[in-house]
Amino acid sequence: MSALLEVSGVSVTFDGFRAINNLSISIGEPELRAVIGPNGAGKTTFMDIVTGKTKPDEGRVLWGEASQNLLGMSESAIARAGIGRKFQKPTVFEDQTVRENLAMALRNKRGPFDVLLYKTNRHARARIAELAEEIGLSDHLPRRAGDLSHGQKQWLEIGMLLAQDPRLLLVDEPAAGMTPAEREHTTELLTRAAQTRAVVVIEHDMEFIRRLNCKVTVLHEGSVLAEGSLDHVTQNQQVIDVYLGR
Amino acid sequence: MPFRTLMFRALALVALAIVALPGPARAQDALQPALQAFADDLASPSRRTIESVVITLIEQDHPNIGEFLRRYSAREVVQRPEDGLFFYAEDAGALVRLVDIDSGEAVAEVSSRDVTQIRTNSGVQRVIAAALVPLELNAPERERRMAALDAISRSPDASQIAPLAESVERETDASLKTRKERLLLLLQAQFAQDRAVQLSAIAALGGDTSIEARGVLNRLTATVTEVALALPEGANIARVLNVGTDLTEAAAYELLVSAALAEPAQTPAMLREVLAENIVDGRVGGVPVGRLSDPAARIEAYEALEAAGTVPPRAAPDEAAQAVAAHVFFDRYTLDDAEITAAAQAALDSTQQAIAAYQVADLVLDGLSLASIFFLAAIGLAITFGVMGVINMAHGEFIMMGAYTGYVVQLFIPDYTISLLVALPLAFLVTFGAGVAMERSVIRHLYKRPLETLLATFGISIALQQLAKNIFGTQARPLTAPDWLGGALQINDIVGISTIRVAIFVLALIFLALLLYILKRTRLGLEVRAVTQNPGMAASMGINPDRINMLTFGLGSGIAGIAGVAIGLYAQVTSEMGANYIVQSFMTVVVGGVGNVWGTLAGASLIGFLQKGIEWFNPSNTLAAQTYMVLFVILFIQFRPKGIVALRGRAAGD
Amino acid sequence: MAKTTLAPKKGFLSENPSVLRFLGLLTVFTLIVTALAEGFGAGVISTSFLKVLGMTLCLCLIAVAMDVVWGYCGILSLGHFAFFGLGGYGIGMWLMYARTEGIVRTSLANAPIPATEGEVRDAIASQIFSVVGSTELPFIWGFAHSLTLQLLLIVLVPGLLALVFGWLAFRSRVTGVYLSILTQAMTLALSLYLFQNDTGLRGNNGLSGLQNIPGLLHLPQSTIALWFFWASALALGLGYLLFAWLVSGKFGSVVRAIRDNENRVRFLGYHVESYKLVVFTATAIVSGIAGALYYPQAGIINPAEIAPITSIYLAVWVAIGGRGRLYGAVIGAATVSLLSSWFTGGGAPNIDLGFYRIVWTDWWLVLLGLGFVAVTLFFPKGIGGLFDYLVRKP
């Protein structure tokens, strides 16, 4: 298992508040990793840094076999390099159909003129059908994404992530607001995806994480507090202190 | 003749007594008898004889002597041959009206042939003028002394130096004394016989930025551009001109032509004319006319004519260049005295430095005043934009509304000071009301759609503008400032600012302080800031965002109204005046950064100073200055998309 | 549009029946107007009204472009009339130069010596620029003698300006209201620039006499007006087709996604700025072409035409017509501009209230302003939205 993403010594400050403090995390491929931590621990900011939304004050973020430096690349370039992200709040394009949403995310050339001259083909249609099957939205392809239920939107977004065919998936609270049955399905989706690629999940729900059954990283005040199996970290005294409060 | 003269005199004395008795002037003060004592010299004056007469008359200290001598010198005095009396002559149509010298009353109207006009020649006039100067300079009345000084500065000459210097000692009025001293310097710099005096006077003028002093120095250092085969020996050369850098070759050649050192070059138009004169059977010098649309063919035709001897030879192509190269071009001082010109030049240089410094000061004042206008116009917009994220395109119309409020108030209250005092709060109330009405009826429905607010308020803006046009007409309406705002604060000939702009600056300062106070120190300000940062949280803490939005919008609009009165005072009130400020105001807000009073201040200062600065480089073209200004703003936003004072972190949104 | 990716190998037009319907209507309209036009026979439509109709078609074209950039891509540009004006200036320079050249050559033909090219150029320059006190041809008129080059400029100048401006604005991620103000500033700078006498486009005199087409002076205006009407209709048809194609399919999908949430589109791997730039530039070029067709029919162009307010009016038309649907823009532009010329041209009957007489030339703008507020408040989807509503009802 070689490191796909190497975050080392990253710090970022917002108006004097240190959101990330000398953070180092390494993700392999394939791997399923859960990141937990109390509010304000810097989980979302960590994703912001990896995806290029926030520029850190110091540190390195290296990517892939060639150890490409992700800092200084634009969000879209990072996404094209193979990092997909799902936001905490489901953000699908509500005015467009499920099919259009998926088609937009499909792995294809992204340049404006390529897209302008793009002709849909059998392969693309097949892939969309396959993805729709996987996220359980086969019957909803022509529907407006805005008309879907909350859980369906979450899946659609995961489906869009998968359509991008990324090497690393960053998933922010995928199970929030889902019914238990829907959670089950989501867990399944994520573990399956993690068989061929790296998946990082941010989650609050311990039950959900337990079901993912993977390595866990605990963040606190912008840096790694503990790392290991869920059982291992939950027995860590520091983690208990942080979570239960002193 | 002597007998007749005597008799006339006797008669005249009697007549005079009769005429003079009822008048207010006492007999011994009367000028006419004194004049009669020198009647012959006065009747046919010569430069040699007049001086003693004038001096004697002046020493007798008649009250009217000054006026008499002036009019005498101006050939306005006539003598009646019958009695030898002198009168002032005034034009009365075909006739001449005779005016008594002492009483100033018209005595008779006679034909110009019945009186002898006294012709004073220029020599006499000079003598009289010189004699008058000390008289007037030392006159008891301040006004007369001032008038004498004015007269000297209007037409200065060497003869005035001595009396002026003498009168400086006697002057009691401090301000007149300084003025006399300066005038003396100016005279000495130009006319002093003593070189040391002149040089020291010139040196003393250095750094003096008044137009008079600069005029004197400029006259002393005046140059003419000349051309010669070689630099003339002993001439006072200011500088040698380099063809190519200091003047173009064409200009140099023109100098040669005007100095008759070269023939005028043949222009294409002259060539065409010569050819047209020599058309023979549809050909010119053997070249068919049809081919002459080609410049080369024209030259060919001319050369053919030249070979036939019909026309003078054409200048060789490089003849002009050779002629120019063979001559030197130089600026020569019109004064030959090199020491004087050098001193004057040095003095002028130090004046230039002073002027540059003052100009910068003036520029700063101008920039400050423009910045305060922009600040006033934009701050209301910044408040609504910053607090509510609402772009109010009708903001300019609120400015206009305020200005028209001021205009209407002036229709009812004629006293400009009182009407201004009424107009300011009234304009605030009117536009506050309009703003609140607009917020309640339109904007609150559009908070989720900021771009549409922009368009809806634009709709209101065109409706308001047209409404104003329908009510007040398209003509500009005056909003007159009270007299105490009418003047200007003139620090010297260069630095000055109109009082009204100072008032606007003060107004801007007051508003800055007031707004800072409201936002930082009052409950309203606290709630406004809370709503700005997190409307949801503010609402849950019992702050009514509706009320806050309404008040904020009203406040922003109200300030626009007051700005309108201020702007209307120095610009004209038209229905379109708001539109002229709206884009500038937007740029001020955007450059400064949204939602921050200091940001608006910074934006207004930047834009105001920059615009004045650009205008300074190209003062004739305000449009160009504005163009560059806007381009600058566009580029500026590239580097600071959130403005000078940007909110950072999560509050900035994303 | 929903069928885009589902339908196998169907033509673009058959997938978008509304485009076909629009083109059909446009053709029918053109034919009817032609049949009724003075230049063709019936003479029911006067030449001046035919010009108004032709100009309206040009305005519809720029409205369609505006709809694409605003309604689809979410950039409320307050600068597209600047591009329109640049197109107008582009064609105006050739029209004025060529026509003056004709006049100059005729007057110089009687001279004893035929004029050189230089003399002709000087004479043209002093004819055109005497009004601003100059006799020299500014360098920007260097191509004015050639129709081909000048036509090229009509495409290149607005295109390049849009490209440079858009690149600067988009790369610094200026969005929303800020971007609107920035485009407005660009328009203001351009109009201020053109207002100057020494910038080579005759200051506030503008370019005039553009209705006289060099080489076609022997034809009556009624015929030329008809030709321009046809050209405008053709341009509108082609422009509509181009933009309909642009906003359909995957490109349109991405563009609309950018409008709704451009950050999300970035994380999908699309370089948002390039898309905006393509849309901004393409619409600018079409706007320039629309302007180049408009001003020969209007006869005169001056910097006031480029003032920021005209671009806001453009946004108003599109909003009234209905954003995000191309035919909405056409409806909006046609309705408002025709109503506007009806009201301000004195066509509308004045209303006597007894105590006050409503003169429409004075009150039209008030009506338009308030009407516009009402549309924004109550019909955010505009007239086109009303259409949808009626169609869907049964």
CB proximity under 8 Å: C 207-246 to A? 246
Same domain? For B415 and B502 the reply is yes
By the 10 Å C-beta count (0-12 exposed, 13-18 middle, 19+ buried), A96 is classed as: buried
Beta bridge partners of C45: C37
SS3 at position B91: strand
Is A233 part of any domain? yes
Beta bridge partners of B62: none
C neighbours by CB contacts (3+ pairs under 8 Å): A, B
B neighbours by CB contacts (3+ pairs under 8 Å): A, C
- Residue B68 neighbours by CB under 8 Å, 6+ apart: B31, B35, B62, B77, B101
Closest Cα in chain A, distance from residue B647 (Å):
10
Is C1 part of any domain? no
| Domain C-terminal end among B333, B364, B388 | B333
SS3 at position A28: strand
| C371 reaches A (C-beta below 8 A) | no
Per the structure block, which two tokens stand in for C270? 């699309």
Q: Determine the pLDDT at residue B597.
A: 82
Q: Determine the pLDDT at residue C27.
A: 94
d(CA C143, CA A64): 54
d(CA B372, CA B566): 11
Q: pLDDT tens digits, residue range C216-231?
A: 888 888 889 999 999 9
Under the banding of pLDDT at 50, 70 and 90, the label for residue B649 is very low
d(CA B641, CA B592): 10
Q: For chain C, how far is it from start to end, CA to CA, in angstroms?
A: 21
Q: Determine the pLDDT at residue B437.
A: 93
Residue C191: phi and psi, rounded to 5, are: -70, -35
By Cβ distance, the residue of C114, C180, C363 closest to B292 is: C114
Beta bridge partners of B333: B223
Residue A178's domain is classified under what CATH number? Answer: 3.40.50.300
CB proximity under 8 Å: A 11-50 to B? 14-15, 17
Average pLDDT over residues B142-168: 80
Closest Cα in chain B, distance from residue C179 (Å):
10
Per the structure block, which two tokens stand in for B92? 């009365």
Overall domain count for chain A: 1
Under the banding of pLDDT at 50, 70 and 90, the label for residue A2 is low
Per the structure block, which two tokens stand in for C2? 């929903």
Is A141 part of any domain? no
Do residues B92 and B109 make contact, with C-beta atoms less than 8 angstroms apart? yes
CB contact under 8 A, A75 and C251: no
Identify the weakest region by mean pLDDT among A136-145, B52-61, C215-224, C303-312.
B52-61
- Per-residue b or e along B568-583, where b marks 16 or more CB atoms closer than 10 Å to that residue's CB: bbbeebbbbbbbebbb
- Residue B312 neighbours by CB under 8 Å, 6+ apart: B306
Is C276 part of any domain? yes
Is B645 part of any domain? yes
Which of left, alpha, beta for B252 (phi over 0: left; psi -120 to 50: alpha)?
alpha
Its domain, for residue B289, covers 223-333
- What is the average pLDDT value for chain C, to the nearest integer? 87
What pTM was computed for the model? 0.81
Q: How far from the centroid of its chain's Cα atoms is residue B423's Cα?
A: 32
DSSP letter assigned to residue B283? E
Under the banding of pLDDT at 50, 70 and 90, the label for residue B22 is very low
Average pLDDT over residues B8-16: 50
Is B455 part of any domain? yes
Alpha helix positions (H), B308-394? 319-326, 338-388
Given a cut of 90, is residue B504 above it in pLDDT?
Answer: no
Residue with tokens 């007409």: B473
Closest Cα in chain C, distance from residue A6 (Å):
20
Q: Determine the pLDDT at residue B1.
A: 47
Under the banding of pLDDT at 50, 70 and 90, the label for residue A245 is low
Under the banding of pLDDT at 50, 70 and 90, the label for residue C3 is very low
Same domain? For B507 and B584 the reply is yes
Average pLDDT over residues C148-160: 95
Is B402 part of any domain? yes
Average pLDDT over residues B127-137: 77
Q: Determine the pLDDT at residue B197.
A: 86
Per the structure block, which two tokens stand in for B133? 């100067």
Closest Cα in chain C, distance from residue B643 (Å):
10
Average pLDDT over residues C361-368: 86
- For chain A, the residue count is 246
Average pLDDT over residues B570-595: 82
E strand or H helix that includes residue B579:
helix B577-592
CB contact under 8 A, A76 and C260: no
- For chain C, the residue count is 394
Its domain, for residue A223, covers 3-94+153-244
CB pairs under 8 A between A and B: 6
Is B338 part of any domain? no
Is A108 part of any domain? no
Is B431 part of any domain? yes
Q: Which of B392, B229, B449 is nearest to B326 (CA)?
A: B229
CB contact under 8 A, C372 and B459: yes
Q: Determine the pLDDT at residue C82.
A: 94
Strand order in the sheet with A3-14: A17-28, A3-14, A58-63, A68-69
Q: Determine the pLDDT at residue C324.
A: 84
Q: Determine the pLDDT at residue B18.
A: 44
Is B348 part of any domain? no
Which residue in A has a C-alpha nearest to residue C272's C-alpha? A76
Average pLDDT over residues B265-290: 81
Under the banding of pLDDT at 50, 70 and 90, the label for residue B265 is confident
Q: Determine the pLDDT at residue B401.
A: 94
Is C5 part of any domain? no
By Cβ distance, the residue of B276, B579, B624 closest to C196 is: B624
Overall domain count for chain C: 1
Same domain? For B31 and B158 the reply is no
Is C7 part of any domain? no
Under the banding of pLDDT at 50, 70 and 90, the label for residue A246 is very low
Is C6 part of any domain? no
Which residue in C has a C-alpha nearest to residue A109's C-alpha? C270
Average pLDDT over residues B452-472: 89
3-state secondary structure chain C: CCCCCCCCCCCHHHHCHHHHHHHHHHHHHHHHHHHHECCCCCCCECHHHHHHHHHHHHHHHHHHHHHHHHHHCCCCCCCHHHHHHHHHHHHHHHHHHHHHHHHHHHHHCCCCCCCCHHHHHHHHHHHHHHHHCCCCCCHHHCCCCCHHHHHHHHHHHHHHHHHHHHHHHHHCCCCHHHHHHHHHHHHHHHHHHHHCHHHCCCHHHCEECCCCCCCCCCCCHHHHHHHHHHHHHHHHHHHHHHHHHHHCHHHHHHHHHHHHHHHHHHHCCCCHHHHHHHHHHHHHHHHHHHHHHHHHHHCEECHHHHCHHHHHHHHHHHHHHCCCCHHHHHHHHHHHHHHHHHHHCCCCCCEECCCCEECHHHHHHHHHHHHHHHHHHHCCCHHHHHHHHHHHCC
- What is the average pLDDT value for chain A, to the nearest integer? 86
Q: Determine the pLDDT at residue C329.
A: 92
Radius of gyration of chain C (CA): 23
| B460 reaches C (C-beta below 8 A) | yes
d(CA C299, CA C297): 5
Q: Determine the pLDDT at residue C156.
A: 95
Is B344 part of any domain? no
Overall domain count for chain B: 4
Q: Determine the pLDDT at residue B126.
A: 79
Q: Is the dihedral of CA C330, C336, C339, C341 positive or negative?
A: negative
Closest Cα in chain A, distance from residue C325 (Å):
14
d(CA B34, CA B57): 7
Per 3-state DSSP, what percentage of chain B is helix, strand, and coil (rounded to 5)? 65, 10, 25
Angle between helices A122-134 and A150-163 (to 10 degrees): 140
Same domain? For B496 and B404 the reply is yes
Per the structure block, which two tokens stand in for B457? 């308020």
**ipTM of the complex as predicted:** 0.88
Given a cut of 70, is residue B347 above it in pLDDT?
Answer: yes
| Domain C-terminal end among B163, B196, B220 | B220
Q: Determine the pLDDT at residue B96.
A: 85
Q: Write out chain C residues lying below 8 Å of A91, CB-based.
A: 261, 264
d(CA B53, CA B86): 15
Under the banding of pLDDT at 50, 70 and 90, the label for residue B37 is confident
Q: List, in sequence order, every beta strand (DSSP E) within B35-155.
A: 77-79, 86-92, 95-100, 106-110, 116-117
Query: Which of B278, B384, B462 to mutate to probe the C interface, most C CBs <10 Å?
Result: B462
d(CA C167, CA C175): 13
Same domain? For B257 and B403 the reply is no
Is B68 part of any domain? yes
Q: Determine the pLDDT at residue B595.
A: 66
3-state secondary structure B284-330: ECCEEHHHHHCHHHHHHHHHHHHHCCCCCCCCCCCHHHHHHHHCEEE
Beta bridge partners of A169: A84, A199
| Domain C-terminal end among B268, B299, B333 | B333
| C4 reaches A (C-beta below 8 A) | yes
Q: Determine the pLDDT at residue B404.
A: 94
d(CA B378, CA B389): 15
Is C4 part of any domain? no
Given a cut of 50, is residue A1 above it in pLDDT?
Answer: no
Residue C167: phi and psi, rounded to 5, are: -60, -45
Give CA angle at A98 (C386, A88), nearest 5°. 105
Same domain? For B71 and B114 the reply is yes
Q: pLDDT tens digits, residue range B231-241?
A: 888 788 888 88
Please report, rounded to a whole number, the percentage of residues in chain A having pLDDT higher than 70. 98
Is C53 part of any domain? yes
Beta bridge partners of B110: B96
Q: pLDDT tens digits, residue range A51-108?
A: 888 888 888 899 888 888 888 888 899 999 899 988 877 788 988 999 999 999 888 8
Do residues B491 and B365 make contact, with C-beta atoms less than 8 angstroms apart? no
Residue C336: phi and psi, rounded to 5, are: -65, -40
Closest Cα in chain A, distance from residue B498 (Å):
44
| B268 reaches C (C-beta below 8 A) | yes
Its domain, for residue C74, covers 12-392
Half-sphere exposure of B245 (CA within 13 A, CB side): 4
d(CA A74, CA A77): 5
Residue with tokens 């200004």: B629
Is A60 part of any domain? yes
Per the structure block, which two tokens stand in for C72? 């689809």
d(CA C152, CA C139): 17
CB contact under 8 A, C372 and B623: no
Please report, rounded to a whole number, the percentage of residues in chain B having pLDDT higher than 90. 9
Q: pLDDT tens digits, residue range A179-236?
A: 888 888 888 888 888 888 899 998 877 888 888 888 899 888 888 888 888 888 888 8
d(CA A166, CA A160): 10
